[in-house]
Amino acid sequence: VTQDAVVEGVDFRREWTTPYLLGRRSLALSLSDLAAMGATPGFCVVTLCAPGDTSLADVEALHEGLQAMAAEHGCPVVGGDVSAIHGPIVLDVVAGGTVESKRALRRDAGRVGDLLVVTGVLGRAAAGLRLLRGDGGDRAPTADVAGVWKGAQLDPVPRLAEGSAFAGAGVRCAGDVSDGLLVDARRTADAGGCGAELWRDALPVDVALSDVFGDDWVGLAIGGGEDFELLAAVAPDAVDALRDGWPADLAPLTVVGRLVEESGVRLLDCAGGTELALPPVASRHFGS
Amino acid sequence: VTQDAVVEGVDFRREWTTPYLLGRRSLALSLSDLAAMGATPGFCVVTLCAPGDTSLADVEALHEGLQAMAAEHGCPVVGGDVSAIHGPIVLDVVAGGTVESKRALRRDAGRVGDLLVVTGVLGRAAAGLRLLRGDGGDRAPTADVAGVWKGAQLDPVPRLAEGSAFAGAGVRCAGDVSDGLLVDARRTADAGGCGAELWRDALPVDVALSDVFGDDWVGLAIGGGEDFELLAAVAPDAVDALRDGWPADLAPLTVVGRLVEESGVRLLDCAGGTELALPPVASRHFGS
Give the pLDDT of residue B101. Answer: 83
pLDDT of B285 higher than 60: no
Give the pLDDT of residue B284. Answer: 55
CA distance B130 to B225: 12
CA distance A275 to B272: 88
Give the pLDDT of residue A284. Answer: 55
Query: B265: closest CA among B194, B172, B215, B179?
Result: B194
At A250, the amino acid letter reads: L
B182 vs A: CB within 8 A: no
CB atoms under 10 Å from CB of B240, counted, come to 9
Interface test with chain B among A37, A86, A92, A176, by most B beta carbons within 10 Å: A92
Give the pLDDT of residue A287. Answer: 39
- Report DSSP letters for B163-193, one per residue: HHHHHHTT--EEEE-SS-HHHHHHHHHHHTT
**Interchain contact, A1 vs B96, CB within 8 Å:** yes
A33 vs B: CB within 8 A: no
**A264-268: strand order across its sheet:** A173-176, A230-234, A115-119, A253-260, A195-199, A264-268, A275-276
Query: A161 to each of A32, A231, B151, how far by Cα in Å?
Result: 10, 14, 49
Q: For the ranges A147-161, A168-182, B124-138, B235-249, which has the lowest average pLDDT?
A: B124-138
User: pLDDT digit string (tens) for A151-180?
Assistant: 999 999 999 999 999 999 999 999 999 999
Give the pLDDT of residue B257. Answer: 98
User: pLDDT digit string (tens) for B65-87?
Assistant: 999 999 999 999 999 999 999 99
CA distance B17 to B284: 16
CA distance A117 to A181: 11
Number of H helices, E strands in chain A: 9, 11
- Report DSSP letters for B85-122, one per residue: -SSS-EEEEEEEEE--TTT--BGGG--TTPEEEEES-S
Q: Which residues of chain A have pLDDT under 50?
A: 286-288
Is ipTM beyond 0.90? no
**Interchain contact, A7 vs B92, CB within 8 Å:** no
pLDDT of B219 higher than 60: yes
Q: Which residues of B touch A9 (CB under 8 A)?
A: 85-87
CA distance B209 to B212: 5
A78 vs B: CB within 8 A: yes
At B47, the amino acid letter reads: T
Interface test with chain A among B14, B81, B176, B285, by most A beta carbons within 10 Å: B81
**Interchain contact, B10 vs A84, CB within 8 Å:** yes
A99 vs B: CB within 8 A: no
Give the pLDDT of residue B28. Answer: 97
A170 vs B: CB within 8 A: no
**Interchain contact, A96 vs B92, CB within 8 Å:** no
Reported as a pLDDT band with limits 50, 70 and 90, residue B149 is very high
B235-260 mean pLDDT: 97
Give the pLDDT of residue B224. Answer: 87
Average pLDDT score over chain B: 94
**B77-84: strand order across its sheet:** B2-7, B90-98, B40-50, B77-84
The radius of gyration of chain A from alpha carbons, rounded to an integer in Å, stands at 19
Give the pLDDT of residue A110. Answer: 97
State percent of chain B over pLDDT 70: 98
- Three-state DSSP at A271 gives coil
B219-225 mean pLDDT: 93
Which residue in chain B is spatially nearest to A84 when comparing CA positions?
Answer: B10
State percent of chain B over pLDDT 90: 88
A43 vs B: CB within 8 A: yes
Closest partner CB to B83 (pick from A1, A10, A81): A10
Query: B197: closest CA among B108, B252, B273, B107?
Result: B273
Q: How many interface pairs between A and B have CB atoms less than 8 angstroms apart?
A: 107
Choice between B115 and B136, residue whose per-residue pLDDT is larger: B115
